[in-house]
Amino acid sequence: MRPIATTRAATGTETGKLAVWWVLASEVVIFGGLLASYVMFRLGHPEWADAAAVTNTTIGAFNTFVLLSSSLTAVLAHQAAERGDGRKAAMYLYCTIGGAAIFLGVKTYEWWYEISHGYTITSNGFWAFYYTAAGLHAFHVIAGAVIMAFVARDAAKGLELHRVELIGIYWHFVDIVWIFLFPLLYIAK
């Protein structure tokens, strides 16, 4: 039995959705604090551009494309869930998870390449921020993908379809964080 509290919606918005937005609000300030610190440092250290030049913009752009595409499938999953088509929603969610897997695979290759060339997290301030920010983002990708797997499993059985939208909102956030990270870490040289 659910608490009566959970069934109420005085604002007219579903409680789960409200909660996801508040989670995102608290996440925004976490990434905001990290990126603001990075930007302040970067402005004070023009020499970091030399380190940034090592990053591979092409691979970064590819990953951006992968992540954006996975957001698209998350939207399609939401549409399918709205129509009540749980199987299709689950299928699209698995596509999104696939996108996450590709993203993480590419990321692993990048890091392996950079670390094997001596650019580790302790090399200098740029690399410290590079690995910390991208690592924190990757952690969110992994967590989002795991949660999405559970949502997809239920959705395939036609259960809890409203969660498809909630995980989608979260996924768009992960995507948007990357949209900030990519220019800051890769393009700005």
Partner 1 sequence: MVEPAVDLAHGEAHDDHAHHGPQGWLKYLWSTDHKVIAMQYMFTGMFMALVGGFMAYVFRMQLAFPGINVPGFGGVSPGEYNALVTNHGTIMIFWVAMPVLLAAFGNYLIPLMIGADDMVFPKINRLSFQVFFVSTIVILASLFVEGGGFAGAWTAYPPLSADSTYNLTPLGSTLWVIGVGLEFVAFLLGGINFITTLMNSRAPGMRAFDVPIVVWMIVVASILFMLSVGPLLAGAIMLIFDQTIGTGFFNPATGGDPILWQHLFWFFGHPEVYVVLLPAMGVVVEIITTFARKKLFAYRTVIFTIVATGVLSFFVWAHHQFIAGIDPRMANIFTITTLLISVPIAELCFIYIATLYGGSIRLTTPMLWALAFVAEFLIGGVTGIFLGAAGADVYFHDTYFVLAHFHYTFFPIAIIGTFAAFTYWFPKMFGKMMDERLGKIHFWGTIIPFNLIFIPLFVLGMGGQHRRIYNYDQFPDIAGGIFQDMRELATYSLLVMLAFQFVFFYNCFKTARSGPKAPKNPWKANSLEWTTESPPPHGNWHPLRMPVVYRGPYEYSVPDREDDYWPQNDPDGAPLQVVDDDDS
Residues that bind partner 1 (CB under 8 A): 1-11, 13, 15-16, 18-20, 22-23, 25-34, 36-37, 40-41, 44-45, 121-122, 124-125, 128-129, 132, 136, 139-140, 143-144, 147, 150-151, 160, 162-163, 166-167, 170
Q: How far is the CB of 58 from partner 1 (least distance, A)?
A: 27
DSSP state, 120? -
Collect all residues with Cβ–Cβ distance below 8 Å to 63 and sequence separation of at least 6.
103, 106, 107, 178, 182
Query: Rounded to the nearest whole angstrom, what is the least distance from the CB of residue 61 to partner 1 in the complex?
Result: 26
Nearest CB to partner 1, comparing residues 3 and 58: 3
DSSP code per residue over 8-77: --TTSS-HHHHHHHHHHHHHHHHHHHHHHHHHHHHHH-TTHHHHHTTS-HHHHHHHHHHHHHHHHHHHHH
CB 126 to partner 1: min, Å: 9
Q: Of 16 and 59, which has the nearer Cβ to partner 1?
A: 16
With 0-12 / 13-18 / 19 or more C-beta atoms within 10 angstroms meaning exposed / middle / buried, residue 104 is: middle
**Residue 41 beta carbon to partner 1: minimum distance, rounded to whole angstroms:** 7
Tokens of 16: 């789960």
Nearer to partner 1 (CB atom), residue 31 or residue 111: 31
Q: How far is it, in rounded angstroms, from Cα 31 to Cα 84?
A: 35
Residue closer to partner 1 by CB (options 8, 117) is 8
State which residue, 41 or 62, has the beta carbon closest to partner 1: 41
